[in-house]
Structure 1
Amino acid sequence: MLTVVQVLGMSSEDEMVSCFLSGELSSQRFGQNLRSHLAAAGQAEQLLTHPDLSDAGANFARRALLAATRGYGENRDLFENFPPEVTWTRALLSADEAASVRYLEYSYWVELSGGSRRPTDAAARIKAGLRAFDVSNEPFVDAAQALIRGERFPPLILVGEKQDNLVCLEGHLRLTAYAIVGFPTDIECLIGTAPTMGRWAQ
């Protein structure tokens, strides 16, 4: 279990949505679909790469984009059973705290971690050459090497009923890369809490 995380300050739904989309834009798996929806909405990538959180119109456009691609605010896809009212904070996790974060309940991440949904178990299996559903582990290795080179990653997005039992909402690859290199630094994240988050973060 996590102890008390180091809270940096309050965050917001708008910052979470912006952070989520920024993370997916650079994703090999989700980036192209996101760009397609951006184009269909007549929006430039600058909406995601240079977000202005004081611009209500831009915030609305980003929420609509996350709804279209991932079901945000529509109780479907990734965000099925996700609470409508969530308190968001910016925080730093220590190595021990980050190692206690669980993957979401999804078959690939369950398999990759050997059933535990723990990033440290997934890291050990990746180092041993084990794959989940025969999917290449190369993206995890590449991300770990980027960390070793000193690259900084966007914040992870984590959620739970309280800050002492968190599940990863966005950033599974980055969380796994941190685990592969042994969580060398405190990890910046956005944490969302809600009394009913347990319906999503099981």
Structure 2
Amino acid sequence: MSGFDPMLTVVQVLGMSSEDEMVACFLRGELSSRRFGPNLRSHLVAAGQAEQLLTHPDLSDAGANFARRALLAAVRGYGENRDLYENFPTQVTWTRALLSAAEATNVRYLDYSYWVELSGGSRRPTDAAAHIKAGLRAFDVPNKRFVDAAHALIRGERFPPLILVGESQDNLVCLEGNLRLTAYALVGFPTGIECLIGIAPTMGRWAR
């Protein structure tokens, strides 16, 4: 355990999660990404795996869990201290939770130039949403994908869980789902946002 105490959390904890669930959730989210999906699919083919490994994960299958971890290592450096997962702790306590609207507004984007620019330096999704509504772009990248995702939420579509990490649950950074986090901000943050939360005492080295 990494010092996580459910009695101290401000979010609504639904239950314990696991590294295997986080990996499966991360890959399922990236599979639908226009930016990362094609590369992920090419690695699936190279590994001789079908998309069902990601779309219908069986967390009780140790072999499938191993295959997904290897896939996340290949595409994002998971467990290899590189790329997205550079300085990411090896011992993380994972929970499934629901965020209220107020809690979601405090979640920050990961420290990446695009999200820093879109939010005006704050890494807050509310600031990014304000810029998008004002017609501002980060590095001249169109904002249509955010608007489309917001419209999907308004139509009642449910998104995969966000993956959030931090040293404590009152200071979280979005590991996966930054686009979805922005869409939530654009519609005013509904309550009960599904997420996986990873807590580790050394997470601050990653979640700056």
Question: How high is the TM-score relative to the length of structure 1?
Answer: 0.98
2:24 matches 1:23: no
Partner of 1:8: 14
Q: Which amino acid aligns with 1:64?
A: A
Q: Could you list the runs of 5+ residues in structure 2 that have no partner in the other structure?
A: 1-8
Partner of 2:143: 137
Give secondary structure in 1 for the equivalent of 2:139.
Answer: coil
Partner of 1:75: 81
The answer to whether the Cα contact below 8 Å between 2:169 and 2:199 also exists between their aligned partners in 1 is yes
The CA distance in 2 between the partners of 1:104 and 1:47, in whole Å, is 27
2:110 matches 1:104: yes
Q: CA deviation at 1:184?
A: 2.0
The CA distance in 1 between the partners of 2:108 and 2:56, in whole Å, is 30
Partner of 1:33: 39
The root-mean-square deviation of aligned C-alpha atoms, in Å, is 0.6
Q: After superposition, give the CA deviation of every residue in 1:86-141 in whole Å (9 maximum; x if it has no partner).
A: 00000000001001000011100000000000000000000000000000101000
The CA distance in 2 between the partners of 1:22 and 1:98, in whole Å, is 22
Q: Which amino acid aligns with 2:203?
A: M
Partner of 1:124: 130
Give secondary structure in 2 for the equivalent of 1:143.
Answer: helix
Partner of 2:6: none
The CA distance in 2 between the partners of 1:51 and 1:79, in whole Å, is 22
Trace 1:184-195 onto structure 2 (pairs within 5 A): 184-195=190-201
**Equivalent residues, number:** 200
Q: CA deviation at 1:68?
A: 0.1
2:92 matches 1:86: yes
Q: CA deviation at 1:149?
A: 0.2
Q: CA deviation at 1:186?
A: 1.4
Identity percentage of aligned residues = 88
The CA distance in 1 between the partners of 2:96 and 2:169, in whole Å, is 11
Question: How high is the TM-score relative to the length of structure 2?
Answer: 0.95
Partner of 2:3: none
1:199 pairs with 200, 205, 208, which one? 205
Partner of 2:180: 174
